[in-house]
Structure 1
């Protein structure tokens, strides 16, 4: 690789905005050693300028302005962009961008990678025939697959028929310096609204887009159930929902109907998520589907026990009984029961949170993730191209 003109990787994503997939991409770009690779991003449908500002390297970012529905012109715009950029590698991510493997092939891109990061909200069990057909149809165009969990790797191998040697499972990493436990002399709860939580309150929180697939509604219902079943203990409970999205009004209505507005903070989208995590006592991820969750990794790195639904790669991160708990998805009673244990035993969250931090330091450092991506890219460039 020429030191003064390293190979270019074009990353194709649906939209450059707040999200776990997008955070992982930004981390990969920012942590790639200088002179190793250049990067560019082609977003099919929008670029958030505030999120784009998180990229610390000189990177071309283009919005291809996909129109609603079937936009056949998108294929031409992608082809033209790739002909101009002439990348060594194109890396698409998730089903929304898989079809862009075709214009990449037609544009003469020699090496093509596809990442599977998690479940589609319309196909949580990967059973929809149309989606399966699409993945099989585009399989010959993809040189290497990067699933983020063992479960997704098994799906590609068994259901899509991808050869094992083309599958490279890479779990997300987390910046363990940015996401860290609160220091003893740190006023961690200073980020919360004034008077929201006292020193003896149990602050439960989650981070994520307020969308159906993230299922914060089940968490809200479990929280309401706990407060109602034991009002004395319930008075010590607080719930923090970090993120925004289409379900904000619905979630607010659930809280208001229960009369618990004073115990729930809708924090909205935040630029200070690390500080917000340090203000929590317990983290919950109630998603209906996941790949390898960045927010779970960030919570664990922040020294928090994690209660998560047993979907996707969550069980590869959370060790039940050691770093947190796993519950069935869409099960209010099971989630309430798991949370009840932390309310009854104030030391449990601290003990499991310390174990979660140790697990991050041993297995999920950001440097390990970046090194594994670079190994895949290096391996492709070392082999025969088209």
Structure 2
């Protein structure tokens, strides 16, 4: 290969060749702060005043069970909050999902920990969330926190994938060790206790993602790699033509 692009320094660290880091960007036309009444959580018809969301495929790798554990610990103490889980469940993970729903039912929280499945427009739900949680055990890059932040939503994320590059702890969210369910509970609770903190950090998250993770910036950085290659190739090509 003439050049290698990687989406993060962490990914690049596995390579033995030179590389250029170009992080993924976010489409701000699709993911944006609330604008209409349907963007309010109240429009969902679900109980509570505030929503905490977890999106992505329902599976162990994504930490769906860690999120459910945190909700089972916290929701009984914070009646104004409802947990919303979206994402597809593949056939090999149906038993995993059934076990989670069984635990939720046993705790009497079926109405407050809601599985929506694969929704048509996930951007709408990002706008309805007051807090977003990305509890993945492993990630390649991980776009969901950026999409949430572009929707003016604060984020609690694990340190998997590129998540640490997206979060400024105490400013636009919180980072916890991947797989540490107790740390996840401890990180989420301050937002449940003070929803205003989530809203404040959501505003900072919006500013941060616009400054650092636009899809236009991603395109420019990729184009720069091609421009460099074309410039390097022009010289030997022009010499070969002269020789002919």
Interval containing the TM-score (normalised by the shorter chain)? 0.7 to 0.9
Residue 168 in structure 1 maps to residue 20 in structure 2:
yes
8 A contact 2:41–2:51 mirrored in 1: no
Residue 178 of structure 2 is matched in structure 1 by: 329
Residue 180 in structure 1 maps to residue 39 in structure 2:
no
Give the alignment of 1:113-124 within 5 angstroms: none
Residue 347 in structure 1 maps to residue 191 in structure 2:
no
Q: CA RMSD in A?
A: 1.9
Change (3 A) 1:350 1:372: same
8 A contact 2:74–2:185 mirrored in 1: yes
Q: Distance in 2 between matches of 1:343 and 1:174?
A: 27
Change (3 A) 1:363 1:256: same
Q: Distance in 1 between matches of 2:174 and 2:54?
A: 15
Quote the offset at 1:155 in angstroms. 2.8
Residue 10 of structure 2 is matched in structure 1 by: 151
Quote the offset at 1:254 in angstroms. 2.6
CA displacement 1:272-309 (0-9 Å, x = unmatched): 11111111110000001223321111000000000000
Residue 197 in structure 1 maps to residue 56 in structure 2:
no
Q: Which runs of 4+ in 1 moved over 6 A?
A: none
8 A contact 2:71–2:113 mirrored in 1: no
Deviates more, 1:376-385 or 1:359-368: 376-385
SS at the partner of 2:61?
helix
Q: Distance in 1 between matches of 2:230 and 2:108?
A: 60
Deviates more, 1:299-308 or 1:250-259: 250-259
Q: Distance in 1 between matches of 2:30 and 2:39?
A: 17
CA displacement 1:138-169 (0-9 Å, x = unmatched): xxxx332221112222232xxxx22x3xx011
Where does the alignment leave 5 or more consecutive residues of structure 1 unmatched?
A: 1-141
Change (3 A) 1:187 1:370: closer
Residue 300 in structure 1 maps to residue 159 in structure 2:
no
Quote the offset at 1:186 in angstroms. 5.2
Where does the alignment leave 5 or more consecutive residues of structure 2 unmatched?
A: 237-244
8 A contact 1:191–1:276 mirrored in 2: no
Higher relative contact order (CA 8 A, sep 6+): 2
8 A contact 1:306–1:324 mirrored in 2: yes
Quote the offset at 1:171 in angstroms. 0.6
SS at the partner of 1:214?
coil
Residue 238 in structure 1 maps to residue 82 in structure 2:
yes
Residues matched between the structures, number:
229
Residue 228 of structure 2 is matched in structure 1 by: 379
